[in-house]
Chains A and B, each alone.
Chain A
């Protein structure tokens, strides 16, 4: 088992840690500058995936047509070394192969992270694959399984398409006591400014600000659940003086330590975010999202919902880009307010 897991983990790690490395075999392709519209169009592609697959519309070809010619889907959980599907007919057949229906919903995709890469863009998303009981037949709804997609996107004459998509089933790692973290330089989350909306030219937030804040928040679950670097990626999503609650945790060093004490692993997907509201303030922005933390792939216990609720955030624009200044989790509860 360890012998088999290592290459898969190494492959995943290579993709996760070096997203831009996914297209490294194309040294001649320049890295494009992505506009706000590029980000939005790629997100639309990613969101259409669920409908195309769950309905098998157009005899599965709605699914196949989300891919560029010669593009591939790889289910790394299928067989000992994964299985790859290539070509329009093969992909359409794949889409027809599961439980389907015109109103069936199963593939819930969220936490969409997109980065420019040579020849196009790369991305990651979480997917929760749900078994939603049919209305009226009494069957129970549940989280069937879930995990990660790793994507490469390419802009075709018809728009953005998948060049490749790989699925990795979630599996939990053990919580670890981290070694002392050395704080690295935060990465910049950049969206190309558009001529029509120069930053600072009007009150409120530009389209680029919204995209960057969305990308900041979408990176949060990866930094926490996969935590490839002892919490550094996690801590660098915050400003140096940021405060997370609860438990109250202040400063990047403490945030990195907190993140590393949480369960994580290279294929672990636990924090699913939704409903991201963003509002401009006098000195930055505030926002909120829903969270459901799902225990998937715990090697034994059935999938279960660990906790849920919502985050309330304050964002601030730093020289490195938008960062969390405060982030507060409020657990879901019915009835009157208890916070």
Chain B
């Protein structure tokens, strides 16, 4: 691996760097310089509780625990889940039924959720995460990456704690694969 990179590095790498430099100059654009994180309005406890809510989601959806009621209880009473097509499932009963349909078994681990970004919003908080779906321990089938994408969430603080007001799943969709790859890509 290292040797392969070594061979291409001196020629391709310099070329790509030079190209990137030219593109950069040509574009002449700057960013907005937005701050990376702002916690105005959210305490450390809020932040931790929202993290816990999102972590619990994975178990609830994979196991369908308590007849889907654990999943449904993560949402506010009028909360909704929107699937990859944008179809909404709203309300406790419908959400519990969704969890019962989607469960993969009480011992399954399918939804891996990382990169949880949280921001305060006017009436609560919003957030997003990456989702990685992994098929593992499914009989004779080899373990594999099923797919992934990201969630976009709206959270609301209820008397029972932070809950999803809305969660939408958006499947991953990449642009064309640039070439040459390794030298141009930030890892």
Contact = CB atoms under 8 A, between A and B. Distances in A.
B87 interface: no
A278 B136 contact: no
A245 interface: no
Interface in A46-82: 47-51, 53, 58-66, 73, 75, 77-80
Interface in B8-49: 9-10, 13, 16-17, 20-21, 23-24, 27, 29-39, 43-45, 47-48
A41 B105 CA distance: 36
Interface of A: 1, 4-5, 35-37, 40-41, 44-45, 47-51, 53, 58-66, 73, 75, 77-80, 83, 85, 88-90, 92-110, 127-130, 132-135, 141-143, 147, 158-161, 167, 169, 171, 194, 197, 207, 210-211, 272, 274-278, 288-292, 297, 299, 304-310, 330-339
A135 B170 CA distance: 10
Contacts of A51: 115, 117, 128, 150
B123 interface: no
B101 interface: no
B97 interface: no
A107 B24 CA distance: 23
A41 B37 contact: yes
Nearest 6 Cβ contacts at the A-B interface:
A61-B31, A79-B9, A308-B136, A97-B184, A305-B143, A167-B187
Given A78-B182, A142-B145, A159-B38, A127 B150 contact: no
Contacts of A276: 55
Interface string B139-156: 100111111111000000
B35 A99 contact: no
B58 interface: yes
A277 B104 contact: no
Contacts of B178: 97-99
Contact of B39 (A41, A75, A304, A308): A41
Contacts of A78: 5, 9, 13, 182-183
A333 B36 contact: no
A110 B114 contact: yes
A134 B177 CA distance: 12
Contacts of A307: 136-137, 143
Contacts, number: 302
A330 B27 CA distance: 52
Nearest to B106: A337
A104 B59 contact: no
Contacts of A44: 36-37, 117-118
A299 to B, nearest CB: 7
A1 B31 CA distance: 41
A61 B148 CA distance: 25
B82 interface: no
Given A45-B36, A89-B24, A99-B177, A108 B114 contact: yes
Contact of B45 (A100, A142, A207, A272): A207
18 contacts: A45-B37, A73-B186, A75-B187, A88-B30, A96-B20, A96-B23, A98-B185, A99-B174, A101-B174, A108-B114, A108-B115, A130-B145, A132-B132, A134-B173, A275-B111, A275-B112, A330-B107, A333-B107
A43 B170 CA distance: 23
B67 interface: no
Given A78-B9, A207-B44, A159 B182 contact: no
